[in-house]
Amino acid sequence: MESRDLEELEKVLGYKFNDKNHLYTALTHKSYVNEKMCGHRVSYERYEFLGDAILEYLTSRFLFEEYPDKPEGELTKLRASLVCEFTLSKISRELKLGEYAFFSKGEKNTGGPNRDSILCDMFESVLGAIYLDGGIEDADKFVRRYLLTDIEHKHLFYDSKSKLQEYAQKKDKKLAYNLIKESGPEHDKLFEVNVLLGDEILAEGEGHSRKSAEQTAAYNALKKLK
């Protein structure tokens, strides 16, 4: 990766690193370290561990302050919808972290840069890197900019399948998801599904996994019903 690429990513992140080694580490998958036998280079796993804890703290603090009337149970559900794998991987795709990251040739060829679990971890590792480089205030700015926005929308999206199931039960109708199309190479599949209420097609959705496509379809159905 050339230095200008790091500068491009810094602009996307909205944060300029004092020590770019933090960013290099946050973007390094363990497969790259193993393949290159980099004794001086470590993977993002420790940064991800730290970022996970920071993310939970910052999100909890924000929700505690933003929703003073919500009980503990509702705050917990709201936090879960924000820090879940689906939400974090979606943000990482928007930031194109997978495109900037370091992977082994094998991991890259089998879809590592686009895998939800890896992209989720990478969001947390970048957060950990920002914290180590700039402190808690810069980490907080990053989380607020990319995660703590449009919260009700994210929460509804997270709960879309269960809410649609509740609707179907009230109507005493069967809810079903059908795969319409599967396209793209094995490591970068795109799934398209529709959701039916009885015999009626409510909506369609697409995603990089069947689960995320179904979630999108459910969300689109809820918007249509409302």
Strand partners, 51: none
Q: How far apart are CA 4 and CA 11, in angstroms?
A: 11
DSSP code string of 159-194: THHHHHHHHHHHTT--EEEEEEEEES-GGG-EEEEE
Is 133 one of the annotated active-site residues of the chain? Answer: no
Token match 């919808």: residue? 81
Least Cα distance to 83 among 51, 55, 122, 102 occurs for 55
Catalytic member of 48, 52, 107, 116: 52
Q: How far apart are CA 135 and CA 128, in angstroms?
A: 9
Backbone angles phi, psi at 178, to 5 degrees: -120, 135
Position 191, amino acid = F
Going by C-beta distance under 8 Å and a sequence separation of 6 or more, which residues neighbour residue 128? Answer: 26, 46, 47, 48, 49, 50, 51, 52, 54
Helices marked H in the chain: 3-13, 20-26, 30-36, 45-66, 72-82, 85-95, 97-100, 105-109, 116-134, 136-146, 151-158, 160-170, 210-225
In three-state secondary structure terms, 98 is helix
Question: Is residue 124 among the annotated active site residues?
Answer: yes
From 107, 116, 121, 124, active-site residue: 124
Which residues are catalytic, by number?
52, 124
